[in-house]
Amino acid sequence: MPVYDYECPDCGPFSALRSMADYQAAADCPSCASAAPRILLSAPALAQMEAGRRSAFTTNERSRNEPRRSGAHAPGCGCCSGRPLSRTRQSATGAKSFPSARPWMISH
């Protein structure tokens, strides 16, 4: 429950622990038991953390139950499945070629 500030016209300001449903209602003064209206003595304090740490916490929470998945790759592709990608190209006649590996080598 939050703590709200009130001001008794006779005794002065005091704080009281009240439910959020009763935040507008007047509170009884602990000294004289008269009704005291709610006042704002201080600005509310926000619990914040630095941006880098907040980003790390967000990434950690996302990776725990909603891991990021790439939709660009098909199931069983070489980069995601751990298998190395084959650079071999095969023509319609069955001849193999290695266009990007070592063009000067002849395959058997």
User: What's the confidence (pLDDT) of residue 108?
Assistant: 56
Task: Give the model's pLDDT for residue 98.
Answer: 60
Give the domain range for residue 11.
3-39
The residues with which 12 forms a beta bridge, in sequence order, are 8
pLDDT at 66: 61
Phi, psi of 12 (to 5 degrees): 105, -165
Residue 102: its pLDDT value, please? 61
Using 70 as the pLDDT threshold, list the residues of the chain that sit under it: 44-47, 62-88, 97-108
* Per-residue model confidence (pLDDT) at position 6: 93
Nearest-Å Rg of the Cα atoms of the chain is: 35
Total domain count, the chain: 1
Judge whether 64 lies within some domain: no
Q: pTM of the entire structure? A: 0.41
24 inside domain:
yes
Domain membership of residue 18 (yes or no) is: yes
Q: Is 35 within the bounds of a domain?
A: yes
